[in-house]
Chains A and B, each alone.
Chain A
Amino acid sequence: MATIDLSKQSITEANELIRACGERGEDVEVLNPDARHHIGVGLTKPITVRVRGSAGYFCGGLTDGPNFIIDSNAGWGLADNMYKGSVVVGGNAGAIAGVAIRGAEVVVKGNLGSRAGQVMKAGTLCCAGNANFMAGYMMYGGRVIILGNSGEKVGEDMTGGDIFVGGEIQSLGSDAQVVEPTADDLKGVREFLDKYGLKFSGTFKKIVNAGTKLRYKNAEPPRRNIPFFTFSGTSGYWNEKVQEDVYIKSQIGRYRIRGYGAARPLPHLSDLAFRTDLSQAGKDPDLLKKIRMRTKLGDKHGARPLDLSMPVMIAPMSFGALSRSAKLALAHASRMSGIAENTGEGGMMDAQREAADQLIFQCLAGRLGWNVHDMQRANGLEIYISQGAKPGLGGQLMAKKVTKELAAIRGIPAGIDLRSPSRHPDVLGADDLVIKVEEFREATGHRIPVSIKLGAGRVRDDIKIAMKDQFDYVELDGMQGSTGAAGAEVLEHVGIPTLAAIQEALDALAEIGATGQLPIVLMGGIKDGVDAAKALALGADAVAVGTSAIIAGGCIACMQCHIGNCVVGIATQDPEHEKRYNTPQEAVHIHHFLEAMRWQLAAITQALGYDDVHKLNRKDLVATTLEAAAITGLPYEPQYRDAALQLKAS
């Protein structure tokens, strides 16, 4: 057995040693832990780690296989996202013990802190003492066994799984109910208690989901065929779209869900123009050879950066919202164009990993499909706080798309209207977030960049937090960003426009003396290379495209992504519909579009007299509307309006 003394070694050194012991199959004893955070994070081998004292946050987090024994207490996030393996805690555990576990056995001999087992998918979390506030909060599956009292609101918004309470049920959470445990249930619980030497002579009450909130009660009637481009056009008050909206609400009595982004006029990059005459842009046949476009992102804290052939990425979109075929087309196209693809919510597919040279793995609040193995094979890790289309809300995936396969990947029951949690179990403030970021770095040996995705709301504060919490870069998503499904009101009316978002971000960095120190990837309605060039000139370091990449790959913009019957096979999980999607062909189309963006970026850069796309700057820009001038502080030069239009047509 190897011994590691944390009074002599840093936690990063200790975790490297623990992983090396894992490779050798040697057990480890950790001395003087003194409640330090991140002990054993990222371990994927079945060794035993004995912690001689108390552990801090995320002990045993992001692991698969090991057995942890903690002699005394454990801090927040015990066994976070653990797959196989076990953790036994001699004392108490802090909040969110067993958060997002997917198979682990977690035993706490003392009491549990709040929200134990939040978003757990499988496995068992057992506590010999009392649980606290909202045990089993938003759990999707698995089993919680509480020998003492349940705490308030036990099973709050649980979707699946069972909670067994030996003591008093202090109060039931929303959508939870008490049922009789079956003989098999009790046998299983007994076996578990015997396995871990826990004695209990009382009787158990069982708590399960009551099934009142898993599906929307009334389905939306089919909408009329108003294409997005008509839908988003400027019009008077009582138009076709308003009439349809009133009608549908009269049928369903609730807010509506749709796909796509904000469909009302907002100040945007199209309200900016380049100051210089660009009519000669792009005439040089050797243009692409002359303009430097290569962009590295993510090495701010010593990680291996993304290495993009141009400052463009694919925006995060999930396998779930999109079909496997569409995701693969995006992955192939990203490789062909030398840029990065992003998993979005819901996990990483092997085929996607193979297809994309550079793949960012996105971590959302529900931890659906999140796991240490895919983290370790990703090129970037992204903590999603929110997105421009629906800041402050979680994803929505309607039942039709929650197939058995998809549910298995995400670790949730099939056939529910999945409303993903909007709030991370372990990110309730900047102070927790910094510990989460460090957990990701520990799990990946500090080798992979960690970024944060922000829907534009209180950008000023958020950017400062991102800077102080040591992210490598930020993905900033404005209100024009699209989604596979969101409440229509949120899509249209929540958040701030992309233009305002980037400006606030730049101002925030200037306010704390950090200009240029935190790369920003701007997204939310970036349509093409011209928009991208304007974003870069404003101060973004790169852009990401979602909607335009999807349209390039065959999307007809019907806004019915959420329904799951996508006629072109993009936003569907129905094999019959997906058959219509020709992945190799659409990958080439997306690639072509990305290459057109490259050419636009290069042509504008050259015409403005630079040899590097990153030399584009604010002096090159003017605002052609008062709103855009007020937002950006760029000079208001309305005479440039036509020039901007000509440029678009070129």
Chain B
Amino acid sequence: MPGVRRRARGPEEEGSMAAGAECADGDCPRQHVFLIPEYLKDASKKMKNGLMFIKLVNPCSGEGAIYLFNMCLKQLFEIKVFKEKHHSWFINESVQSGGLLHFATPMDPLFLLLHYLIKAGKEGKYQPLDQVVMDEVFPNCILLLKLPELEKLLRHVTEEKEIDNKKYYKYSKEKTLKWLEKKVSQTVAALKANHVNVGVRVQSAAFFSSDQISSDKEEDFIRYAHGLISDYIPKELSDDLSKYLKLPETSAPMPNPPSKRLKMSDEPVEAKEDYTKFNTKDLKTEKKNCKMTAAQKALAKVDKTGMKSIDAFFGVKNKKKFEKI
């Protein structure tokens, strides 16, 4: 049977009721827990519509991902999902499985445009933007063309030509790498400002001379930042950026490359894991074991599969989920 029977709810009721109130003694529609920039609330007073969730390409994987798009502010927001096994929400007088927490954070649309520019760049021609940003799979990508100051943004990653007042663009790898380098140093600064522990090497560096410590550390920060940014660019460009940043190739891969950890949709944000010294599996279990109480241990044995991705949010895919319940 597809889906659980849900209570219909007229639009006139919306907003006036607390979550969960409508499911007096039965199943509730799925409730999504979101953290969204505060200013969208103020903006929403003025707008009749224009705030929407859309599916666009994930510039790293090429697969679909959900974004929040604001037509009024002309802004793009990335959606990341925090998901930890064995968690659920109590929301007012209801229970919501999964315990997912969605984050909407502003995102530079250039990462998405870059995906299309690189594709089009393979032809080596100058092309108008509306011919570049076309996607049969994710037709909503045309909304990106409505974002402000695209011309200014595009200068970071393209060569441009103007013929008869019309702009034509061509992907430039050199410019893109320069732009990404700026992003890396911006990220390094943020990592430092937030005292993010960037890896095991930081600790081991303590055994070396002081000079070594500072230089080692810097490289770790850059590598970490590179990993984070690699989540927003294709693999090939990520490799090029690594060379451009003169990051030495590691003989043994880092225990947890950040790029592997901060994945869209199926993976939780798991930022903490990355940033602490407990980011290797061994350390984690070790820590768990010595801290766990009997009840925790007993529960640790029960290993249920994780929750669905944010795709479930778009309705279609959560069919199966509801069947199981």
Q: Do A and B come from one complex?
A: no
